Structure 1
Amino acid sequence: MKKVLIIALSFIAITIAPKAFAQKTVGGTVMSPAKNIVQNASGSKDHTTLVNAIKSAGLAPTLSAAGPYTVFAPTNEAFAQLPAGTVDNLMKPASKANLIKLLTYHVVPGKLTSADLLTKVKEGKGKLELNTLSGGTLTVMSQGAKLYLVDEKGGKSFITIADVAQSNGVIQVVNSVLKPN
């Protein structure tokens, strides 16, 4: 009986393990759950603008720390949707406070997977409000199984790649830049 139980548990562990530890590819690079948010994002060719902004704002040490954090990570294409000159202006030393506010608006304390978000949206009767590191609020809603965020200005962003595991949290890739008030 003991042998059968051990074999059954081994089978369950083998069946579950690949999904639990599945790595995601973002920006052409396999993301490692052993690396932190900044290390993994730095490897993504789709997040070079975000990584440059994080470094310019001086947030790399924070997002490399233990966390955990959930980062709603806009792609280069998302930043390109902003009005011409916006990113260049935000990267100037005189705009550092605005850049920090924008970037920390994309970060929520804790590790929130898409399943966590979807469950909390259902519990919240269709929406969930998240408090960001900037002190702002993001509203999470769902359309079927698809999750999207509504920023304080009413802009919407969809999660395009969910649950990218990090050593200090999770990245949810989004298709537009979220804007605080």
Structure 2
Amino acid sequence: MNIATRFLALLTLCAGLIGAGAASAGHHSEGEMTRPNIVEVAAGNDDFSTLVAAIQAAGLAEVLAGEGPFTVFAPTNAAFAKLPAGTLDTLLDPANKQQLVDILTYHVVAGKVYASDVVKLTTATTVNGADVSVKTSETGVQINSANVITTDIKAGNGVIHVIDTVILPGA
């Protein structure tokens, strides 16, 4: 089973477990059900055009548009521009799809983790399977070396926190 298939299976399992718990606890509000999903929210913001292109190239748009819930640490176009020259083009090459999937899934946590929850964490396990570090200080929150610049952008299937740097697994 390839990593993309395992990722889809993991997300389906997590979504089912979390969704069942949330539904039984009555956590879905009518407003959440009518909100655009994570992919639609990102696609509606010009600052995420590179992220949306990467999600589509990785074949993850349908997953991230699914039931969720998901928390996405979303790098802006400026964050992608910080990558070394040629890196983004290399990642978007279909021959490197698995590497792109690994990087993008490192930006996603199963469940809804709002800013009020993030500040209580020191680590979070991503759907990639690896942990990110969470550091909170009086100047803000960092996910690994990325600064969280906007929090709690609500979507029908989760929440987005905007970060200023692309985070890389194993870095």
TM-score, normalised by the number of residues in structure 2: 0.78
Which deviations, in whole Å up to 9, do the C-alpha atoms of 1:104-163 show, x marking residues without a partner?
000000100000111x23xxxxxx11111111110111111611111xxxxx10110100
Q: What's the offset of the Cα at 1:176?
A: 0.3
Q: Which secondary structure does the structure 1 equivalent of 2:166 belong to? A: coil
Instruction: Give, as a single letter, the amino acid of the residue that structure 1 aligns with 2:131.
Output: T
Q: Which secondary structure does the structure 1 equivalent of 2:67 belong to? A: coil
Which residue of the partner structure matches residue 142 of structure 1? 136
Matches within 5 A, 1:40-55: 40-55=41-56
Percent identity between the aligned chains? Answer: 44
Name the CA distance, whole Å, in 2 between partners of 1:62 and 1:53.
Answer: 13
Q: What's the offset of the Cα at 1:103?
A: 0.3
Q: What's the offset of the Cα at 1:85?
A: 0.3
Return the index of the structure with the highest Cα Rg: 1
Which residue of the partner structure matches residue 38 of structure 2? 37
Unaligned runs of 5+ in 1: 1-32, 122-127, 151-155
Calculate the aligned-residue CA RMSD, in Å. Answer: 1.6
2:163 is the alignment partner of 1:177:
no
Name the CA distance, whole Å, in 1 between partners of 2:142 and 2:114.
Answer: 13
Instruction: Give, as a single letter, the amino acid of the residue that structure 2 aligns with 1:160.
Output: I
Runs of 4+ in 1 over 4 A off after TM superposition: none
Q: Which one of the candidate residues 127, 150, 161 is aligned to 1:133?
A: 127
Name the CA distance, whole Å, in 1 between partners of 2:51 and 2:70.
Answer: 16
Unaligned runs of 5+ in 2: 1-33
Number of corresponding residues: 139
Name the CA distance, whole Å, in 1 between partners of 2:99 and 2:140.
Answer: 30
